[in-house]
């Protein structure tokens, strides 16, 4: 089941966030520098304010996947509609639940939400692992995007 996350889901979302980041940690199995309670508070506050929206996939009442959408306001423009942007992030499915279509359904929920709102566009910085899924779901490479790259 796919549904919109609520502040009461913050503990489950924080646990999955820690699990997500642990999968990609370098070196593997390094201890976390922060407690998941930090993320739990942050997530609950943002979901309550609705400047961040999240969707979850549940199996047997357990959250097994999620995706977040941040609404990014833009400075008012006197000549353009100036709609906000959507920033899609923190897209994760617990490994043992991958391949069951949760990712596609979560992205469909986020896309449906974005289409019903006046969002100018939705952006994402995919990982190598997720790029194929995003492309399959209609995301493409923009003609122009610049990123500040700090030199070492």
> Which pTM value belongs to this model?
0.89
Q: What's the total number of domains in the chain? A: 1
Q: 52: domain CATH number?
A: 3.40.630.30
- Strand extents, DSSP E, 32-139: 52-59, 62-72, 85-93, 122-123
Residue 143: inside a domain, yes or no?
A: no
Is position 72 within any domain? yes
* Structural domain range at position 75: 2-137
Residue 142: inside a domain: no
HSE (side-chain half, CA atoms, 13 Å) at 122: 21
Residue 26 belongs to some domain of the structure: yes
- The torsion region of residue 58 among left (phi > 0), alpha (psi -120 to 50) and beta comes to beta
Q: Identify the pLDDT of residue 15.
A: 94
End-to-end CA distance of the chain: 45
Is residue 150 one of the residues assigned to a domain?
no
Could you report the per-residue pLDDT of 8-21, keeping only the tens digit for each? 999 999 999 989 88
Please indicate, yes or no, if residue 8 is contained in any of the structural domains: yes
Residue 96 belongs to a domain: yes
pLDDT score recorded for residue 151: 83
Residue 22: the pLDDT is: 84
Q: Is residue 146 part of a domain?
A: no
Q: Please give the helix or strand (H or E) that residue 131 lies within, else none.
A: helix 128-136
């Amino acid at each position: 089941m796919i549904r919109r996350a609520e502040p009461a889901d913050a503990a489950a979302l924080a646990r999955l966030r820690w699990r997500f980041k642990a999968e990609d940690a370098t070196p593997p199995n390094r201890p976390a520098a922060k407690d998941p309670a930090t993320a739990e508070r942050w997530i609950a506050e943002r979901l309550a304010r609705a400047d961040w929206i999240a969707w979850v996939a549940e199996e047997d009442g357990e959250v097994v996947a999620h995706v977040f959408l941040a609404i990014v306001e833009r400075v008012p423009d006197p000549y353009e509609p100036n709609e906000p942007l959507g920033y899609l992030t923190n897209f994760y499915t617990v490994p043992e639940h991958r391949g069951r279509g949760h990712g596609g359904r979560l992205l469909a929920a986020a896309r449906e939400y974005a289409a019903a709102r006046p969002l100018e566009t939705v952006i994402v910085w995919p990982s190598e692992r997720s790029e194929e899924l995003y492309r399959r779901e209609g995301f493409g490479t923009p003609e122009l995007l610049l990123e500040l790259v700090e030199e070492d």
